[in-house]
């Protein structure tokens, strides 16, 4: 099974390579340090599964999933993240991701997750599976943040995490004006008026730690 990995931290990529090396059935065919490079490698190399970091400069994991799945719908994309699954895993799966693995448990779970998604399955924890089932139940009320687009959600999460507009613009490769426009949309959709209310909302809904 040919694996493509993408993470902006060299130490993490080194660790992933060591984990993959423990399974003789897995072969690392390419590694990228950002979203744009990952997409370029995906188009140039032969691979069976992509393992992407959720939070990379430029294209986020969600943006990458959609682009890669648009071009290679039959190939699974697994997302690796330092953040607990309750924060982002639902959006990963809805975007087309095949599973979500926390970096803290990667050494124990990654190879098994890769094998499962390559075989056509989904890799999620029992708790996440239960949460998804609840959200899909008839009459289930969705929280307001579920109405946000993926990019709005990322801006909202970064704002609630304490990032300033200029920092977010740099991380997402956007202009500060564009980030401000996203912020205005977010505030309107969530019925909020300032960043303090946004932080309170995010904490209440367990979107930030």
Of 15, 208, 109, the closest CA to residue 7 belongs to: 15
* Domain segments of the chain as ranges: 2-135, 144-204
Which pLDDT value is given to residue 89?
Answer: 81
Please tell me the predicted confidence (pLDDT) of residue 140: 61
Residue of 159, 163, 168 lying closest to 192 (CA atoms)? 159
Say yes or no: do domains 2-135 and 144-204 share a fold. Answer: no
Main-chain phi, psi angles of 81, to 5 degrees: -150, 150
Residue 138 has a pLDDT of: 65
Would you state the pLDDT for residue 184? 95
pLDDT reported for residue 136: 63
In the CATH scheme, what is the homologous superfamily, with its name and number, of domain 2-135?
Answer: Response regulator (3.40.50.2300)
Helices (H), the chain: 10-21, 35-44, 61-71, 85-94, 106-118, 126-136, 150-160, 165-172, 176-190, 195-204
Residue spans of the chain under pLDDT 70: 86-87, 134-140, 209
Question: For residue range 150-164, what is the model confidence (pLDDT) as tens digits?
Answer: 889 889 999 999 999
Whether 153 contacts 95, CB under 8 Å: no
pLDDT at residue number 187: 95
**CB pairs under 8 A, 24+ apart, for 104-112?**
106/15, 106/16, 106/19, 106/80, 107/15, 107/19, 110/16, 110/19, 110/20, 110/51, 110/80, 111/19, 111/20, 111/22, 111/23, 111/26
| Candidate CATH numbers 3.40.50.150, 1.10.10.10, 3.90.1150.10, 2.40.50.100; the one for domain 144-204 | 1.10.10.10
């Amino acid at each position: 099974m040919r694996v493509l990995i993408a993470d902006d931290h060299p130490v993490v990529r080194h660790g992933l390579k060591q984990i993959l090396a423990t399974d003789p059935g897995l072969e690392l065919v390419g590694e990228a340090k950002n979203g744009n490079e990952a997409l370029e490698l995906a188009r140039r190399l032969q691979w069976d599964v992509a393992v992407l970091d959720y939070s990379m400069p430029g294209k986020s994991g969600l943006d990458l999933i959609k682009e890669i799945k648009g071009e290679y719908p039959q190939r699974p994309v697994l997302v690796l993240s330092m953040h607990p699954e309750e924060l982002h895993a639902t959006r990963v799966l809805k975007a087309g991701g095949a599973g979500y693995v926390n970096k803290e448990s990667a050494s124990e779970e990654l190879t098994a997750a890769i094998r499962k998604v390559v075989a056509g399955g989904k890799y999620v924890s029992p708790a996440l599976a239960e949460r998804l089932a609840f959200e899909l139940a008839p009459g289930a009320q969705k929280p307001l943040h579920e109405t946000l687009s993926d990019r709005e959600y990322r801006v909202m999460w970064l704002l609630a995490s304490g990032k300033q507009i200029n920092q977010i613009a740099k991380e997402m490769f956007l202009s500060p004006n564009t980030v401000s426009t996203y912020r205005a949309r977010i505030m309107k959709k969530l019925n909020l008026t300032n960043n303090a209310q946004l932080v309170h909302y995010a904490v209440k809904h367990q979107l930030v730690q």
